[in-house]
Structure 1
Amino acid sequence: MNTSSESHERDGGNATDGWKARDGGNATDTGGRGSPRIAVVGGGIGGLVVAGMLHRHGIAATVYERDRALDARGHGGTLDLHPGSGQRALAELGLTEAFRAEARPEGENLRILDPAGRTLGHHAPEPGSGTRPEIDRGVLRKLLLTRVPETAMSWGRRLTGVEELPSGGHRLAFADGGLADCDLLIGADGGRSRVRPLLTDARPAHLSAYLQLTITDADRRSPGTAAFVGPGSLMALGDNRNLGAQRSGDGTIRVSVTVRTDAGWLDRQRFADLTWEETVARLHGLFADWDPGLTGLIDACDAGSLVGRNIEALPVGTRWPSRPDVTLLGDAAHLMPPVGEGANQAMLDGVLLARAIAGSGDDLGAAVAAYESEMFDRAASIGAESARLESMGLAPDAAERMAAFFG
């Protein structure tokens, strides 16, 4: 497989069969029939990849994104993009050089500590030898948006309902009262997908509770903490509890707390009703027997910055009978524990689905079936490994096991 952006420009950038967008984006096929109306629900990383790839192949698609703008809310931390998935997608979109200009190879630096503050593992590739550089999520989405025409982005469109049309395809209803019809519906709308129920009754299962806090302008405002975290990230692992920190390219350090507990734990904490001092004290209570150098990460965080959510995953091996008018990608298809694969697999999904559509002539059913066949097997294998890592990371001997894994 050649993943260079140059070879894609020559060989894969323009579709040679199937539907081609002409005359300002109005697609027609060689028989004069109208092009398929493709709707991508969700303008996250996977949705932007599939839309960008389709347009690169001359096939029109519209992305319906619930946020009103790219920066309507925070994007989260950084991602390590893998050569065979995330980086492959960027290469096929002609974004390799832009990615290299924005990526942070030093972000691969990772330290693993135990609750006593001892460093048990340190992954620090020599300069130029790393294969999985980090990039901020927001920066990555901005890069991907350069491959999706502005006219193909429909912002502020929160999906509220889907109706199957008698003639085939679906009618989408949005919170603003708008409607849109499509021949192929691509659900790229995350772990709580509204599109998924059209295909399967599978639902995400609770794994743990996750809290994120931030230290803005860390090098200036908290230089000791910034030096302790280093250029990349650290993970302190103990029985059913993790404390982590990750540096972003904007100078922010994101501190995370993961607790193996039941689905109602976050609600019972009532963090929104606590003062910041009470919040910090409660978090310290979770790590009362941990090294103060580690728990000092909590003290350095910005007041009021805590955001909590439950971590969930779909059953490993989730599948459904293929349909020609709807499919899923990314977390909507195979929500996994957040151990580094989710975004990468979503990006690869987008590439492979778009390629299947571009190479299928006018047979959407064949394209969807071919894409799903490969995706199901790949997601089952990677999902099983992700589940194993997630379980390992919250085990009684998590620090020792993770240090051995990364060593």
Structure 2
Amino acid sequence: MNPVVIVGAGLAGLTLARVLHLNDIPAVVYEGEESLNPRAQGGQLDIHDFNGQVALRQCQLMDEFRSVITMGAEAMRFLDTDGQVVGEIPDDGELTNPEVLRGELRRILVESLPEGTVRWGHKVASVEAANGAHRVNFADGESVGADVLVGADGAWSRVRAYLGGAVPEYTGTLWAETFLHDVEVRHPAAAAIVGRGAMLAMQPGKGIFGHREANEVIHSYVVMKKPLSWSDTLDLTNRERALRTIADQLGDGWAPQLIELITAGDTAPVIRPIWGLPLGHTWDRVSGVMLVGDAAHLTPPDGDGANWALFDGAELGTLIAENPGDIDAAFDAFAERMLPRSAESSEEGYQSFERTFGYNAPANLRNMMEGIKTYGREYHQ
């Protein structure tokens, strides 16, 4: 068979390519970025035992996965704005939801593929029908035909657009992120308040989120309910001024060590508007084409997106391998499983995001902590 054409070298597309490779099914992945790490690849991910780790087992990459786990990082604590701990969940050491850097996870997937599988520097401009199949047009004017096409190209998927699918909607929330390096030596107060895992301090519609990463790094975020245009007013040419402006959006009453997580940032802030696809969205079913990951079910960050992307890729790859002579049957079987699952997960994801970062966030966090009888695995967001 002709190679399966996968658009997007994110977690879903790479996992799909890996499972196909293990089953001797040719695949090629087209990715707009020029290389594996031309930019920061996002922060730490907790990889769940019921979806993300299932996929990695199917990829036969569990040893490689275990080698990049950030030990102790499953811990989570919730703080008031004065820095007092409301509740804390320790890392239980059982690796139920171990933390790994997205970039490291993506690396081991890329390295598991034959050389040349990923074609870097191929930014997709459009997709169109062509002679009973499909044509992927790249920004440089080149194009490639595809009998079998999988859109793993994320939030602004060109493949989803080809299928007449929905466009992401702005949730009303912005995240501003920065990084603190060598924190035990250079930022001991910030290191102490975050701990070894994640820390969250919220007020209605705003807050600070800190996440300890490998190599003594803290990844910090300010969460803000703001118009999408607010970021246009921010002067990003002056790092210190921009970080102070962001911290000022929180107002008064925050502990200095919490504010330090933002103002002491060693990197210029990156503003990330939070987008999501409408609940219940769908797309036209076209022979030979399927969507996976965020291209299929983009949801505000809730800890599940990367896991379901991995799971999508592994599941679709397995179904294609079971029925390589009838791709549409494999795609239909996948859609019958993925669509109800993603609809339920997306609804839960929107609810979880609003509970954690919305206008009733402090009360929600306290109620959540009161529901934990012991600080352990009874907690599940």
TM-score by length of 1: 0.86
The residue number in structure 1 matching 2:195 is 230
Aligned mates of 2:366, 2:72 — CA distance in 1: 19
Q: Supply the distance in 1 between the matched residues of 2:309 and 2:103 (Cα, whole angstroms).
A: 16
Match for 1:119 among 85, 103, 113? 85
| CA distance in structure 2 between the aligned counterparts of 1:136 and 1:364, rounded to whole angstroms | 33
CA deviation after TM superposition for structure 1 residue 332, in Å? 0.6
Residue 130 of structure 1 deviates from its aligned partner by: 4.3
Residue 328 (str. 1) matches residue 328 (str. 2): no
Deviates more, 1:285-294 or 1:85-94: 285-294
Counterpart contact for 2:176–2:246, Cα < 8 Å = no
Deviation larger for 341-350 or 283-292: 283-292
User: What amino acid maps onto 2:309 in structure 1?
Assistant: A
Tell me, yes or no, if structure 1 residue 382 matches structure 2 residue 345.
Answer: yes
1:209 maps to what in 2?
Answer: 174
Pick from 353, 361, 364: which aligns with 2:327? 364
Q: Please state whether the residue corresponding to 1:202 is helix, strand or coil.
A: coil
Conservation of the 8 A alpha-carbon contact between 2:81 and 2:255: yes
Hey, what's the Cα distance between the residues in 2 that align with 1:114 and 1:327?
Answer: 45
Q: Residues 373, 284 of structure 1: CA spacing in aligned structure 2 closer, same or farther, 3 A cutoff?
A: same
Question: Quick check: which has more Rg, 1 or 2?
Answer: 1
C-alpha deviations, 1:111-158, integer Å up to 9, x for none?
1112232211211133x3341010001110111113211121111110
Distance, in Å, in 2 between the alignment partners of 1:175 and 1:395 is: 39
2: CA distance between counterparts of 1:143 and 1:379? 26
Determine if the alignment matches structure 1 residue 41 to structure 2 residue 4. no
CA contact 1:171–1:182 (8 Å) conserved in 2:
yes
**CA–CA distance in 2 between the matches of 1:120 and 1:396?**
18
Distance 1:334 1:58 in 2: 28
1:70 is aligned with what amino acid?
L
Q: Alpha-carbon deviation of 1:286?
A: 1.3
Task: Tell me how far apart the structure 1 counterparts of residues 218 and 241 of structure 2 sit (CA, whole Å).
Answer: 22
Say which of 373, 388, 393 aligns to 2:356.
Answer: 393
- Give the secondary-structure state (helix, strand or coil) at the position aligned to 1:272: coil
Question: Among 339, 343, 356, which residue is 2:306 paired with?
Answer: 343
Once the two structures are TM-superposed, the CA of residue 161 in structure 1 deviates from its matched residue by 2.0
Paired AA for residue 187 in structure 1: G
Q: Where do 5+ consecutive residues of structure 1 fail to align?
A: 1-34
Q: Distance in 2 between matches of 1:82 and 1:394?
A: 22
Corresponding position: 1:72 with 2:34 = no
Asked whether the equivalents of residues 41 and 63 of structure 1 are also in contact (C-alpha less than 8 Å), the reply is yes
The Cα offsets for residues 220-249 of structure 1, whole Å up to 9 and x where unpaired, read as: 322232222111110111111021111111
Q: In 2, are the aligned partners of 1:323 and 1:365 still within 8 Å (CA)?
A: no
2-structure distance, mates of 1:396, 1:204: 22
Mean Cα deviation higher: 202-211 or 317-326: 317-326
Deviation track 1:324-366 (CA, whole Å, cap 9, x = no partner) reads 2211111111001111011000000001111111112411111
**Aligned position for 2:51:** 85
Which letter does structure 2 place at the counterpart of 1:384?
Answer: E
1: CA distance, partners of 2:289 / 2:112: 23
Q: Is 1:314 aligned with 2:277?
A: yes
Letter paired with 1:253: I
1: CA distance, partners of 2:207 / 2:116: 43
Distance in 1 (alpha carbons) for counterparts of 2:333 and 2:283: 13
Instruction: State the partner residue of 1:101.
Output: 67
Contact in 2 for aligned 1:112/1:399 (Cα 8 Å): no
Change (3 A) 1:404 1:143: farther
Q: Distance in 2 between matches of 1:63 and 1:179?
A: 13
Q: Structure 1: which amino acid aligns with 2:79? A: L
Instruction: Tell me how far 1:294 sits from its aligned partner.
Output: 1.4
The structure 2 residue matched to 1:56, chosen from 18, 22, 29, is 22
User: Could you tell me which residue of structure 2 aligns to residue 405 of structure 1?
Assistant: 368
User: Compared with structure 1, are the counterparts of its residues 72 and 377 closer, same or farther at alpha carbon in structure 2 (3 Å cutoff)?
Assistant: same
Q: Does 1:170 align with 2:134?
A: yes
* Count of matched residue pairs: 368
CA distance in 2 between counterparts of 1:343 and 1:390 reads 15
Contact kept, 8 Å, 1:317 with 1:379, in 2: the verdict is no
Aligned amino acid, residue 390 of structure 1: F
Aligned-partner Cα distance in 1 for 2:57–2:3: 26
Instruction: Give the counterpart of 2:97 among 132, 135, 154.
Output: 132
Matched residues in 1 for 2:79 and 2:338: separation? 35
- Matched with 1:189 is 153
| 2:243 counterpart of 1:280 | yes
Whole-Å Cα distance in 1 between the matches of residues 287 and 319 of structure 2?
12
The equivalent position to 2:262 in structure 1, one of 298, 311, 314, is: 298
For 1:94-126, what per-residue CA distance to the aligned partner results, in whole angstroms no more than 9, with x for missing partners? 111221121124111111112232211211133
Alpha-carbon offset, residue 162 of structure 1: 1.6
Residues of 2 paired with 1:96 and 1:37: CA distance? 26
Contact 2:160 2:283 in 1 (8 A): no
Give the RMSD, CA atoms, in angstroms: 1.6
Inter-partner Cα distance in structure 2 for 1:243 and 1:165: 49
**Which one-letter code corresponds to 1:163 in the other structure?**
E
What is the SS of the residue equivalent to 2:170? Answer: strand
Report SS of the residue matched to 1:107: coil
Encode CA deviations 1:175-231: one digit per residue, 9 max, x unaligned.
Answer: 233221111111111101111112233111111111111112222322232222111
2:230 aligns with 265
Cα distance between partner residues in 2 of 1:350 and 1:180: 22
Name the amino acid aligned to 1:219.
E
**Aligned structure 1 segments of 4 or more residues deviating by more than 4 angstroms:** none
